[in-house]
Amino acid sequence: MSRRTISTLLCTLVALATLSSCGTQTRIETTWEIPQYTGKPFTKLGVIAVMRNKDDSRAFELAAVSKLKAAGVEAVPGFSFLPGDSLCSQNRMEQCVKGTAVDGVLMFKLIAIDKTRSYVPPTDFLVAGGAYPGWWDDRFWGYYAPYPYHYWGYWYPAYQVVRTPAYWETSTTYQVETVLYRTADNKLVWTAMSGTYDPTSDYDLGASLSTAVIGKLQKVALVPTAEKK
């Protein structure tokens, strides 16, 4: 095997490994940011998630905080500074947020969970050519027979097929609204609507969505990039 062939195979394996490690996919569908924003990038964010229940919200916040810290943004989860037993008043919430010294509040609100079913029809596959009787007496051609001996031997197996059965496939999309508020004046700075496809858990949902959100915030200079830290 040549070096070029080996190099090509290695590149292919690396590409496949990269694709398989991409995990849950999130698509940012729409965004809005305050016009002509001139403030500094946010360096410490309070992360508040409103999911289906407290446990889901907590898992989401932990994932989002982890991703923000990995991107060089200090972050604290909402469950660590907000009262967890009941809804609080505006004044109480402001006091809790001020106690963290964050310069922004990043909130994630679950809007909808959409399930779709798609029909996957049967699929036909050609049967690969197999060894012919007595192949052990002809070790080279035995593995490829009857292809070398006649074009009929290549044509005939093309009509031999196997079929996978049809089935229904269900996919789930989580629609989430994300908002960023500046704590200095409680002003809305940035919003986004997104769709996350088939997350395995709320932690997985938080990790995928926050990664996409961080990328968008970095592009509009609302959070520092990793290179600047």
pLDDT tens per residue across span 122-176: 887 766 655 555 555 555 554 454 555 667 666 666 666 777 889 898 999 999 9
User: In terms of domains, do 103 and 214 share one?
Assistant: yes
What percent of the chain lies above the pLDDT cut of 70? 72
Q: Tell me: do 43 and 110 sit in the same domain.
A: yes
Query: 1 in a domain, yes or no?
Result: no
pLDDT of residue 4: 45
Q: 103 and 64 in one domain?
A: yes
Average model confidence (pLDDT) for the chain?
82
Residues 104 and 205 reside in one and the same domain: yes
Q: Which residue has the tokens 């898992």?
A: 59
Domain of residue 134: give its range. 127-164
* Domain assignment present for 10: no
Residue at 15 is within a domain: no
Q: Residues 111, 74: one domain?
A: yes
Q: Which residues contact 110 (CB under 8 A, 6 or more apart)?
A: 50, 51, 52, 174, 175, 176
User: Residue 5: inside a domain, yes or no?
Assistant: no
Would you give the DSSP letter of residue 84? S
Question: Are residues 115 and 195 both part of a single domain?
Answer: yes
Q: Domain count for the chain, please give it.
A: 2
pLDDT tens column, 27-42: 999 999 999 888 899 9
